[in-house]
Amino acid sequence: MREFTYTAKDFKSANEVRWCPGCGDHAIMNAIQRVMANLGLNKADYAVISGIGCSSRFPYYMNTFGFHTIHGRGAAIASGVKSANPKLHVWQITGDGDAMAIGGNHFIHTIRRNIDMNLVLFNNKIYGLTKGQYSPTTDFGSKTKTSPYGTIEEPFVPGQLVLGAKGAYYARAIDGNMKMSQEIFDNAARHKGTSVVEVLQNCVIFSGGIHDEITKGEDREDKQIYLKHGEKMIFGTNKDKGLVLENGKLKSVTIGQDGFTLDDILVHDAKEESLYMHAALINMQMPEMPVAFGVIRAVEATPYDVAMEEQIAEVQKTRKIKCVDDLLRSGNTWEV
C-alpha cells in the first residue's frame, strides 16, 4: 500500500476562510484537517460534501475534492458519491437546519442504509446564514427572530434520531475541545458505516454561548462525561464521580459516598447492539446528570456501499448476460 505523509496544512485550500472570528467552525475544521493528515490516506480520495448553511461552506476551504450542494441534500448526494465509488473517503458536513429540518429525510435514510461516510453535524441550535431563526434543535421557548414570543415546539435530540434510524454510530463532541474532537473524528473516520458526529458548535453572532452551560466554567468537568469504550464511566473535576444503574435508570454518584465504590461504576460498551444504554446516555441532561460526549455508539454493521458491491459481484459470478449485446438478445427473439 502506498503511504502518504501530510501535515494539516496540506488539507487547507487557498480560499480565504470567511467564517466569523470566534466561530466554532474554525476549530472543527482544524481538528478534521489534523485528523486527515494523521490518517495518511490519499488526499485525492477525499470527497467533502455539504448542503447549505454556514458550516456547508466547509468544502471550499479544504484542499480536497469538494462539492457544496443544495439545502438539505448533502446526505443524498454524498450517498451517491460513496455508492458510485466505495473507495472514496466521504465526509458530509451539515448543520442543525440542513440535516434536521429540510434534509431530515435524507439524514435518517442515509443512517438507516449505513452508507460509509463521516457525517459531521454542526449543532448551534440556530439558523446562522439566514441570520437567526430557530432550528429544529432550538430549545423549547427560545426567543429568536421567528419566535419573538418563544418557540412552542419541542426540539430534536440528534442522537435520538440516529438511534431511531437504526444508526450504528453516534458520537458527540465540543467544537472548542480539540483534543476530544480529534480523537472522536479519528475514531469516526476509521468506523465503517455512517459515523454521525454531533458537534456542539458555538455561533458567536446568533446563539453565542448556547452551549456554555455545558462547555464552559471551572466546573465544566462536573457537567460533562467523556465516554470511552471499555472504560469506566467516570467524570468530574476530581474524577470522583461516576454513573451507575439503579432501578433500571442511570444515576450520577460520587465514588465513596452513599456506599458506591469504584466497582459499582458502569463500563462503557459502545459496541453493544442494544439501544438501551446508548439511548440513556444520549438522553442525559443537566443538572441531575452530566452531558455525554465521546463515541457513544459504534456497532459493526455492513455498509450499504459494500453490500452493493458484493451483490453485484455475487450476481456476476453466475451471470449469463455479460454485455449489452447479450442483454438485447436475451429472452424471446425471432428472425425475419
Partner 1 sequence: MTKDTKVIELEQVAIRFSGDSGDGMQLTGTLFSDATALVGNDISTFPDYPSEIRAPQGTVGGVSGFQVHFGNKKIYTPGDKAHVLVAMNPAAVKANAKFLEPSATIIYDIDSFNDKNLKKAKYSTDDPFAELNLHDYHKIGVPITSLTKEALIDSHMDNKAVMRSKNMFALGLVSWIFNRPLDVIEKALKAKFGKKQQVIDSNITVLHAGFNYGMNMQHTTPQFLVPAADIEKGTYRNISGNIATAWGLIAAAEKANIELFLGSYPITPATDILQALAERKDLGVKSFQAEDEIAGVCTAIGASYAGDLGVTSTSGPGLALKSEAINLAIMAELPLVVVDVQRGGPSTGLPTKTEQSDLMQALWGRNGESPMVVIAASSPSDCFDFAFEAARISLERMTPVMLLTDGFLGNGSEPWKIPSMADLPTINPRVAKDPSKFKAYRRTDETLAREWAFPGMEGFEHRIGGLEKDESGTVSQDPANHQEMCEIRAEKVARVVDMIPDIETYGCPEGDVLIVGWGGTYGHLVSAARELCDEGKKVGLAHFNYINPLPANSAEVFSRYKKIIVCELNLGQFAAYLRDKLPHFEYHQLNKVQGLPFSVEEIKESVTKLMEE
Residues in contact with partner 1 by the rule CB under 8 A: 13, 15, 42-47, 49, 59-60, 62-70, 73, 76-85, 87-88, 105-106, 109, 308, 311-312, 315-316, 319-325, 327-329, 331-336
**Residue 95 pairs with which residues in a beta bridge?**
122
Least spacing, CB of residue 129 vs partner 1, in Å: 12
Q: 25 and 203 in contact (C-beta within 8 Å)?
A: no
Q: Which is nearer to partner 1, 149 or 334 (CB)?
A: 334
Which string of DSSP letters, residue by residue, matches 8-63? Answer: GGGGB-SSPP-SPTT-HHHHHHHHHHHHHHHHT--GGGEEEEE-SSSGGGGGGGBS
Closer residue to partner 1 (CB): 79 or 181: 79
Residue identified by cell 459499582 is: 264
CB of 305 vs partner 1, minimal distance in Å? 9
Within a 10 A sphere around the Cβ of 41, how many other Cβ atoms? 17
Nearer to partner 1, 59 or 303 (CB): 59
Residue 251 near residue 225, CB atoms below 8 Å? no
- Considering the complex, what minimum distance in angstroms separates the CB of residue 50 from partner 1? 8
Kindly tell me which of 165 and 266 has the beta carbon lying closer to partner 1: 165
DSSP string, 92-140: EEEEHHIIIIITHHHHHHHHHHT-SEEEEEEE-SSBTTTTSB--TTSPT
Angle of the 74-84 helix axis to the 104-113 helix axis, nearest 10? 30
- As measured in angstroms, the least distance from the Cβ of 40 to partner 1 is 15
* Residue whose CB is less far from partner 1, 79 or 94: 79
Q: Which is nearer to partner 1, 52 or 265 (CB)?
A: 52
Q: At what angle do helices 178-190 and 24-39 cross, to 10 degrees?
A: 50
- The CB-of-11 to partner 1 minimum distance in angstroms stands at 10
Contacts of 272 (CB under 8 A, 6+ apart): 278, 299
Q: Nearer to partner 1 by C-beta: 63 or 137?
A: 63
Cβ atoms of 52 and 60 closer than 8 Å = no
By C-beta, is 49 or 200 nearer to partner 1? 49
CB of 128 to partner 1, least distance (A): 17
Q: CB 33 → partner 1: shortest distance, Å?
A: 14
In the complex, minimum distance from the CB of residue 203 to partner 1, in angstroms, rounded to a whole number: 21
DSSP state of 301: -
Say how far apart CA 55 and CA 91 lie, in whole Å: 13
Question: Could you please report the per-residue DSSP string of 228-278?
Answer: -TTSB-EESTTS-EEEEEETTEEEEEETTSTT--GGGSPBP-TT---SHHH
